[in-house]
Structure 1
Amino acid sequence: MAQLLAPDRLVPGRRRDVDVLLAWGRRPSALRVERLARQWDLPVWHLEDGLLRSVAKGREHPPLALLVDELGVHFDATAPSRMEQLIAAPITVTEANRARALQRLWCEQRLSKVNPPREAEAPHVSYVLVVDQSAGDRSIALGLADSSCFQRMLQAALQDHPDCTVVVKVHPDVISGRSRGHFTAEDLAHPRVRLSADGGHPARLLERARAVYVVTSQMGFEALLWGRPVHCFGMPFYGGWGLTHDRCDAPARRRQGASLEALVHAALVGACRCIDPQRHQPCPIETLMGAIGLQRRLQAQQPWRCVAFGFTPWKQRNLRRFLAGSQLRFRAPWRRIPQGVDAVVVWGRRAKPRLLEAAARRQLPVLQVEDGFLRSVGLGADLVDPVSWVVDHQGVYYDATRPSDLESLLATQRWTSAQCQRAAALRQRLVQEAITKYNLQAEPWLRPAGAHRVVLVIGQVESDASIRYGAPGLRTNRALLEAVRAADPEAYLVYKPHPDVVAGLCRAGAGEDAAAALCDEVLSQGSIQQLFTQIDALHVLTSLAGFEALLRGLEVHCWGLPFYAGWGLTHDRERCGRRQRQLSLDELVHAALIDYPRYVSRDSGWFITPEQAIDELVAWRAAPPKRRTLVQALFRHWGRLRRR
Structure 2
Amino acid sequence: MATPQDLKAAGAIPRRLFFYNGGVLRQRRLRAILNAAGHEPRLGWPGPEDGVMVWGRSPYAARGERVAARHGLPLIRLEDAFLRSVHPGRTGDPPLGLLIDPLGVHFDSAQPSMIERMLATERLDDHAVLARARDGIARLRAAHLSKYNDFDPTLPVPEPGYVLVIDQIRGDASITHGGANEAIFREMLAYARIENPGARIVIKTHPETHAGHRPGHYGRGDCDANTEILDAPVSPWALLEGAIAVYTVSSLMGYEAILAGHKPRVFGQPFYTSWGLTQDENPVPRRERKLTRAQIFAVSHILAPTWFDPCRGRLCSFEEAVDQLEAETRTFREDRLGYVAGGMSLWKRPHLRRIFGRHGPLRFSETPDPARPFLYWASRITPEVEKNNPIRVEDGFLRSRGLGAELVPPLSLVTDRQGIYYDPRRPSDLEALISQEMPPGGRLRAERLIAQLTEARLTKYNLGGAPPGLPEGHRILVPGQVEDDASIRWGAGETCTNAMLLARVREDNPDAIIIFKPHPDVEAGLRPGAISDEDALRFADLILRDADTASLIAAVDEVWTITSGLGFEALLRGKKVTTLGAPFYAGWGLTRDLGPAPQRRTTRPDLLQLAHAALIAYPRYFDPASGLPCPPEVALDRLANGPAPNRGPLNRAGSKLQGVFASYAWLWRRQR
User: What residue is the counterpart of 1:311 in the other structure?
Assistant: 344
Structure 1 residue 14: deviation in Å?
2.3
Aligned length: 624
C-alpha distance in 1 between matches for 2:204 and 2:138: 19
Matched, 1:272 2:273: no
Counterpart amino acid of 1:91?
A: E
C-alpha distance in 2 between matches for 1:7 and 1:424: 29
Q: Please point out which of 446, 463, 481 is paired with 2:469.
A: 446
Matched, 1:170 2:205: yes
Cα distance per residue 1:177-208 (max 9 Å; x no partner) = 222222233223x1211122112331222233
User: What residue is the counterpart of 2:651 in the other structure?
Assistant: 632
User: What residue is the counterpart of 2:552 in the other structure?
Assistant: 531
Q: Name the CA shift for 1:43/1:467 in 2 (closer, same or farther; >3 Å).
A: same
Cα distance per residue 1:379-398 (max 9 Å; x no partner) = 12233333333333322222
CA contact (8 A) 1:387 1:602 kept: yes
Cα distance per residue 1:59-90 (max 9 Å; x no partner) = 6531222222334333233x324247516733
C-alpha distance in 2 between matches for 1:422 and 1:74: 31
CA contact (8 A) 1:74 1:84 kept: yes
C-alpha distance in 2 between matches for 1:267 and 1:577: 48
Structure 1 residue 20: deviation in Å?
0.7
C-alpha distance in 1 between matches for 2:576 and 2:271: 62
CA contact (8 A) 1:457 1:539 kept: yes
C-alpha distance in 1 between matches for 2:645 and 2:75: 47
CA contact (8 A) 2:135 2:440 kept: no
Q: How does 1:564-575 map to 2 (within 5 A)?
A: 564-567=585-588, 569-570=591-592, 572-574=594-596
User: What residue is the counterpart of 2:186 in the other structure?
Assistant: 151
Question: Secondary structure of the residue that 1:211 maps to in structure 2?
Answer: strand
Structure 1 residue 344: deviation in Å?
3.1
Q: Name the CA shift for 1:196/1:311 in 2 (closer, same or farther; >3 Å).
A: farther
Question: Secondary structure of the residue that 1:358 maps to in structure 2?
Answer: coil
Q: How does 1:42-441 map to 2 (within 5 A)?
A: 42-58=73-89, 61-77=93-109, 79-83=110-114, 86=117, 89-94=120-125, 98=129, 102=133, 105-110=136-141, 111-116=145-150, 118-119=152-153, 121-188=156-223, 190-239=224-273, 243-248=277-282, 250=283, 253-254=286-287, 256=288, 259=291, 263-264=296-297, 266-268=299-301, 271-289=304-322, 291-293=324-326, 296=329, 306-312=339-345, 315-316=348-349, 318-319=351-352, 327=360, 329-333=362-366, 335=367, 337-341=368-372, 343-359=373-389, 366-408=390-432, 412-413=435-436, 427=450, 430-441=453-464
Structure 1 residue 19: deviation in Å?
0.7
Cα distance per residue 1:130-173 (max 9 Å; x no partner) = 22222232332223333232222222222221232111111122
Cα distance per residue 1:275-308 (max 9 Å; x no partner) = 2345433334344345435655686688966543
Structure 1 residue 33: deviation in Å?
1.7
User: What residue is the counterpart of 1:363 in the other structure?
Assistant: none
Question: Secondary structure of the residue that 2:424 maps to in structure 1?
Answer: coil
In structure 2, runs of 5+ residues without a counterpart are 1-29, 665-672
CA contact (8 A) 2:86 2:148 kept: yes
C-alpha distance in 1 between matches for 2:182 and 2:231: 20
User: What residue is the counterpart of 2:66 in the other structure?
Assistant: 35
Structure 1 residue 213: deviation in Å?
1.9
Counterpart amino acid of 2:398?
A: L
C-alpha distance in 1 between matches for 2:305 and 2:353: 32
Cα distance per residue 1:524-577 (max 9 Å; x no partner) = 333333333555664433222233344455564544332334455235154644
CA contact (8 A) 1:102 1:286 kept: no
User: What residue is the counterpart of 1:543 in the other structure?
Assistant: 564
C-alpha distance in 1 between matches for 2:44 and 2:348: 46
Structure 1 residue 630: deviation in Å?
5.9
In structure 1, runs of 5+ residues without a counterpart are 360-365
C-alpha distance in 1 between matches for 2:458 and 2:406: 19
Structure 1 residue 94: deviation in Å?
1.7
Q: Name the CA shift for 1:316/1:159 in 2 (closer, same or farther; >3 Å).
A: farther
Cα distance per residue 1:380-427 (max 9 Å; x no partner) = 2233333333333322222122233334555x4568999778766655
Counterpart amino acid of 1:166?
A: I
C-alpha distance in 2 between matches for 1:223 and 1:139: 17
Q: Name the CA shift for 1:162/1:328 in 2 (closer, same or farther; >3 Å).
A: farther
User: What residue is the counterpart of 1:362 in the other structure?
Assistant: none
CA contact (8 A) 2:615 2:632 kept: yes
Counterpart amino acid of 1:172?
A: P
Bigger drift between 469-478 and 121-130 goes to 469-478
C-alpha distance in 1 between matches for 2:351 and 2:646: 21
Question: Secondary structure of the residue that 1:282 maps to in structure 2?
Answer: strand
Structure 1 residue 22: deviation in Å?
0.9
Matched, 1:561 2:595: no
Cα distance per residue 1:569-608 (max 9 Å; x no partner) = 2351546444567776566545544554444444456665
Question: Secondary structure of the residue that 2:550 maps to in structure 1?
Answer: helix
C-alpha distance in 2 between matches for 1:505 and 1:384: 13
C-alpha distance in 2 between matches for 1:493 and 1:93: 57
CA contact (8 A) 2:120 2:289 kept: no
C-alpha distance in 1 between matches for 2:173 and 2:438: 49
Structure 1 residue 473: deviation in Å?
2.6
Counterpart amino acid of 1:68?
A: I
